[in-house]
């Protein structure tokens, strides 16, 4: 049985007594320690949905084929594999089947050629169909989508297909390569807790990222992870964001008075997870107070409906203001700084779209400052360059924009450091 470690670090461990509400940040770090006994892993039901439009010709497609074959070798005999390609139309290249006739499957993969345009929706639909055909009741269902171009006119359908699949427990990893693909679409497709996006900056990374994703799916040790946050009366949970392994906002629902829940999705053991919350603390008298109670609840894979629970609380002292130092925890500040940079760049693109170029530039510049201070020097430079470009030409470059969007979230190329 795995053990879960829940650690809460507040931005300040002692608060000044105040008549006014004040803000407290808390970093929640979740880590899993599988004991000596390895969890029985759930079989994977995998479908690759690959863009084979003409722009994929050459190294990109070559790398994709190689990656597909390597993935096949990672799968066990009881796992299912399928491969769908799309250009102007979609085609099932490898129908869903147990990963057994490997030589034959590899032959089919190697025959894929690049040609034509990009029409994603049909490809997605066929991919979902193949996953459902595999009929594996207890498995991790995953669709890996890779594209390098824009799909025109069927974006709405893509999102609909993705939502239907996600509601049935099919997670989607949406991978974009190059600078032409539509990041808004991919992000919308992956905007569910069991899905994610990734930006692949060069063809050479394809194999690494594909196989890393399959390995993550192979060591999921907790499914449907739910977090419940209870605050003292009149307290308010202002926001909850994931900051590790990558940054992204988590929708919260106020389920009862001063109690919120959030769905965190499936949890691969290799991912160190960290969340950052903003808590509005009500005026409290001098003394020690339980500021936060966390309950983590998840399904244990492969067991019949067994759930596991973990609890942790945070106690904070409230003292006379002149006894309280104004220091903040550096780790909390670091992750908050990265989160603020991510939020600033997101609002910058929105401002740019509304034609508010100076506002957008200002936000990008501030994002750059935050990144500098957080030690993300290279990314800060990219942000500065795009801010200059935006102000001078009214437009950011497609590549810079992607680098910033995915870089601030921690979703570029390099795998998450553990």
Partner 1 sequence: MVTCSHCQAQQLDGTIFCTVCGASLLSAKPQRQTTASLNRAAAETAQAEVDEATILPAPTPAPETNTIALIVLSSGRRIVLPVTPELLIGRKDQQRNFFPDVDLSLDGGYDAGVSRQHARIICRDGSYLLEDLGSSNGTFLNRQRIAPRRPVELHHGDEIQLGMLLVRFEMNG
24 binds partner 1 (CB under 8 A): yes
141 binds partner 1 (CB under 8 A): no
When binding is defined by CB under 8 A, the residue of 62, 369, 415, 416 that contacts partner 1 is: 369
- Cα angle at 412 between 406 and 414, to 5 degrees? 155
| Distance in Å, CB of 384 to partner 1, minimum | 5
User: CB under 8 A: which stretch of 43-51, 159-167, 185-193, 325-333 binds partner 1?
Assistant: 325-333
When binding is defined by CB under 8 A, the residue of 21, 95, 117, 302 that contacts partner 1 is: 21
- Cα angle at 369 between 367 and 375, to 5 degrees? 105
Binding mask 105-124 for partner 1 (x = CB under 8 A): --------------------
Compute how many other C-beta atoms are within 10 angstroms of the C-beta atom of residue 76: 12
365 binds partner 1 (CB under 8 A): yes
Structure tokens at 226: 């739910």
Structural Rg of the chain based on CA atoms: 23
| Distance in Å, CB of 372 to partner 1, minimum | 4
When binding is defined by CB under 8 A, the residue of 32, 172, 296, 367 that contacts partner 1 is: 367
With respect to partner 1, which residue has the nearer C-beta, 225 or 340? 340
358 binds partner 1 (CB under 8 A): yes
User: In sequence order, what DSSP letters do the residues of 383-398 get, joined into one string?
Assistant: HHHHHHHHHHHS---H
Place of tokens 């969340």: 275
With respect to partner 1, which residue has the nearer C-beta, 16 or 169? 16
Please give the order of strands across the beta sheet that includes 170-177.
90-98, 80-86, 44-51, 140-147, 170-177, 196-200
Q: Give the count of residues interacting with partner 1 (CB under 8 A).
A: 44
Whole-angstrom Cα distance, residue 397 to residue 386? 7
Whole-angstrom Cα distance, residue 395 to residue 401? 10
Q: How far from 116 is each of 53, 67, 85, 137, CA to CA, in Å?
A: 5, 22, 12, 36
User: CB under 8 A: which stretch of 93-101, 134-142, 152-160, 361-369 binds partner 1?
Assistant: 361-369
With respect to partner 1, which residue has the nearer C-beta, 44 or 387? 387
When binding is defined by CB under 8 A, the residue of 1, 36, 253, 377 that contacts partner 1 is: 377
**Paired sense of beta strands 287-299 and 170-177, if any:** unpaired
Q: Which helix (H) or strand (E) holds 129?
A: helix 120-133
391 binds partner 1 (CB under 8 A): yes
With respect to partner 1, which residue has the nearer C-beta, 266 or 337? 337
Chain positions 263 to 282 lying near partner 1, rule: CB under 8 A, are 280-281
When binding is defined by CB under 8 A, the residue of 70, 388, 413, 415 that contacts partner 1 is: 388
396 binds partner 1 (CB under 8 A): no
User: CB under 8 A: which stretch of 38-46, 103-111, 175-183, 360-368 binds partner 1?
Assistant: 360-368
Of 93, 60, 49, which is closest to residue 180 (Cα–Cα)?
60
405 binds partner 1 (CB under 8 A): no
What are the residues whose beta carbons fall under 8 Å from the beta carbon of 134, sequence distance 6 or more? 45, 80, 82, 96
**Paired sense of beta strands 170-177 and 196-200, if any:** parallel
When binding is defined by CB under 8 A, the residue of 3, 5, 7, 23 that contacts partner 1 is: 23
Compute how many other C-beta atoms are within 10 angstroms of the C-beta atom of residue 7: 12
User: CB under 8 A: which stretch of 50-58, 70-78, 110-118, 368-376 binds partner 1?
Assistant: 368-376
Q: What residue ranges bind partner 1 (CB under 8 A)?
A: 11-12, 15-16, 18, 20-25, 280-281, 326, 328, 333, 336-337, 340-341, 343-344, 358, 361-363, 365-370, 372-373, 375, 377, 380-381, 384-385, 387-388, 391-392
């Amino acid at each position: 049985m795995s053990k879960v470690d829940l650690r809460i670090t507040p931005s300040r461990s002692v608060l000044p007594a105040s008549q006014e509400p004040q803000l407290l940040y808390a970093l929640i770090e979740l880590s899993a320690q599988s004991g000596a006994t390895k969890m029985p892993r759930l079989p994977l039901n995998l479908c690759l949905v690959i863009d084979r439009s003409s722009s994929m010709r050459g190294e990109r497609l070559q790398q994709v084929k190689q990656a597909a074959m390597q993935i096949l070798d990672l799968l066990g005999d009881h796992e299912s594999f399928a491969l769908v390609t799309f250009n102007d139309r979609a085609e099932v290249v490898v129908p869903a089947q147990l990963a057994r006739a490997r030589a034959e499957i590899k032959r089919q993969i190697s025959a894929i050629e690049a040609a034509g345009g990009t029409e994603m929706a049909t490809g997605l639909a066929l991919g979902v169909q193949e996953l459902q055909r595999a009929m594996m009741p207890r498995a991790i269902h995953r669709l890996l989508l890779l594209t390098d171009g824009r799909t025109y006119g069927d974006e709405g359908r893509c999102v609909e297909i993705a939502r239907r699949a996600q509601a049935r427990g099919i997670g989607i990893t949406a991978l974009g390569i190059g600078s032409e693909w539509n990041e808004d679409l991919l992000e919308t497709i992956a905007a569910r807790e069991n899905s994610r996006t990734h930006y692949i900056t060069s063809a050479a990374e394809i194999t690494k990222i594909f196989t890393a994703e399959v390995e993550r799916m192979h060591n999921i040790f907790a499914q449907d992870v739910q977090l419940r946050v209870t605050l003292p009366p009149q307290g308010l949970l202002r926001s909850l964001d994931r900051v590790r392994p990558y940054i992204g906002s988590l929708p919260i629902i106020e389920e009862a008075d001063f109690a919120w829940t959030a769905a965190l999705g499936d949890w691969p053991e290799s991912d160190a997870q960290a969340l950052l919350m903003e808590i509005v603390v009500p005026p409290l008298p001098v003394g020690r107070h339980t500021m936060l109670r966390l309950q983590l609840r998840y399904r244990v894979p492969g067991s019949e409906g067994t759930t596991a629970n973990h609890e942790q609380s945070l106690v904070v002292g409230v003292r006379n203001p002149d006894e309280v130092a104004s220091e903040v925890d550096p780790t909390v500040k670091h992750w908050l700084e990265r989160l603020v940079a991510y939020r600033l760049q997101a609002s910058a693109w929105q401002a740019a779209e509304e034609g508010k170029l100076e506002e957008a530039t200002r936000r990008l510049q501030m994002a750059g400052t935050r990144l500098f201070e957080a030690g993300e020097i290279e990314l800060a430079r990219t942000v500065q360059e795009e801010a200059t470009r935006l102000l001078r030409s009214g437009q950011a470059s497609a590549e810079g924009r992607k680098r910033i969007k995915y870089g601030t979230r921690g979703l570029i190329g390099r795998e998450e450091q553990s």
